[in-house]
Structure 1
């Protein structure tokens, strides 16, 4: 287990291990379970020595190219002058627009910034070399599960059935799906990526795009005329079955995003957390990207946004309710959360 130096300012993992299969984490023991929410930046009790899985590189080692070699694809070498693109991934309500726009300002003059890989940044990714430029750096951003689930409940993008649920208990216990519209019938049984956002039929509901059923009341739920057509991602195993809960989708999405480090055209994967930028600013992020790409940022780092942190804590009051915390403590897959630095509150 590697604890990142508090002076570095954010928790990051630089990895390229071939992750085409899911992990088999060891069971959590009472000795390794944190009783409180850990301080930001710390990796909390990963279920195994992640250096064997990922090739972890501490931030203060990134400037040293001999150290950085541990973070490169097995059998490969990162050419600092040949990073062809930075791909940015992250779920809804994870601060992705904020950080993606920041990085675009800082690096887009030399390295193309893309907020997608094989699919848009929010969705499950799959390996297709033609959609990922060679020698790419991938940045995957995550948010604390308590605040993230609370935010999804309050503003449930792309999930109209869940937008009509009045309590958080209903929200987290309602299967992650909706009835298929009749227009989907023409795609049933067809092979390949025939559905919206390059999904297969058994991977998403609805398949049809644009959304044909205007009678389902999802318009105007988020104000400002913003409309979010339905996109219920099904289990990422080809079964065509829905997730029992949003938290199960989150587990598989984390593993999916970590898995892109094993894609052929990916040179490095950088794991970052939204809370760390709010509490400590983005200077460490910029230095890490500079070290991984060999390019200098042409911008000023963002300062800590402690006012935003207080506002978020007040806004996400559900995330601090004891019954909500207890439910997540017992329901979330903490072995997977540990991989990106989150533990029980």
Structure 2
């Protein structure tokens, strides 16, 4: 199935006729996964499931239920890399210490440093390599966050070819009008509203350290545009609605 996210920023593929009961959201960090999950859960009463692996990793599951909806949330590369620098979740200490210019040019090295490591025994897994952030075939770290973006995006778009109920949403379209996006998904998958739509609140608390890092990244962004453009796959970015030549 050829992927092309048009002006509405959304594409749906219904693979089964069964009623949808649960859902999973995939997407890279800082790409709108949490707020998208919140709207689908709160408005339509679907049950989030962790049966299909880590939401920030490439899909890896044995089989998919015909009653599950797979949702992918994508974001433009510029806002995304700024947010990745501002909130470098799971990044190792050395990577966190770099300035923006070095950060986007360095291999992505991430470790299991979550307070509650996904049901795993903390003492055994703390600071161990976060495997879904490694190249899925070669096992090496991604050379840059942009290589990670490209490969993971391809893997998530591949859900449209796996015979599962799936929807891909461009986060900017969701931000512009979350109610319209949610309604479109509901129409495609016969979801009934359980609660009135309420504009979602911001998920994360604003912290001084995060905003200082964000300001630094935004200040340095214009000085790194040639490098960022060279790192991105223009055909892939165009297919999901981003023209890197216009960045």
1:299 correspondence with 2:195:
yes
Distance in 2 between residues matched to 1:328 and 1:149, nearest whole Å: 9
Distance in 2 between residues matched to 1:197 and 1:3, nearest whole Å: 32
Among 261, 266, 272, which residue is 2:160 paired with? 261
* C-alpha contact 1:140 1:270 (8 A) present in aligned 2: yes
How many matched pairs?
Answer: 227
Distance in 1 between residues matched to 2:26 and 2:96, nearest whole Å: 28
Shift of 1:259: 1.3
**1:235-259 Cα deviation digits (max 9, x unpaired):** 122x222211111011011011111
Among 169, 180, 193, which residue is 1:272 paired with? 169
Among 27, 32, 36, which residue is 1:95 paired with? 32
Distance in 2 between residues matched to 1:101 and 1:178, nearest whole Å: 26
Distance in 2 between residues matched to 1:234 and 1:338, nearest whole Å: 25
1:328 correspondence with 2:224:
no
CA change 1:107–1:128 in 2 (3 A) is: same
CA change 1:316–1:273 in 2 (3 A) is: farther
* C-alpha contact 2:20 2:68 (8 A) present in aligned 1: yes
Q: TM-score, normalised by structure 1?
A: 0.57
Shift of 1:290: 1.6
Shift of 1:300: 3.6
**1:48-67 Cα deviation digits (max 9, x unpaired):** xxxxxxxxxxxxxxxxxxxx
CA change 1:2–1:334 in 2 (3 A) is: closer
Partner of 1:248: 147
**Structure 2 counterpart SS, 1:173:** coil
Higher relative contact order (CA 8 A, sep 6+): 2
1:173 correspondence with 2:105:
yes
Partner of 1:341: 241
Distance in 1 between residues matched to 2:233 and 2:139, nearest whole Å: 22
The alignment's C-alpha RMSD in Å is 3.4
Unmatched runs of 5 consecutive residues or more in structure 1: 16-71, 180-195, 199-207, 217-228, 306-311
CA change 1:209–1:252 in 2 (3 A) is: farther
Instruction: Give the helix-richer structure, 1 or 2.
Output: 2
* C-alpha contact 1:143 1:275 (8 A) present in aligned 2: yes
Unmatched runs of 5 consecutive residues or more in structure 2: 112-116, 202-210
Partner of 1:152: 84
Among 266, 286, 295, which residue is 2:182 paired with? 286
CA change 1:272–1:162 in 2 (3 A) is: farther
Matches within 5 A, 1:45-194: 72-73=14-15, 78-79=16-17, 82-108=19-45, 111-114=46-49, 116-129=50-63, 132-177=64-109
Partner of 1:11: 9
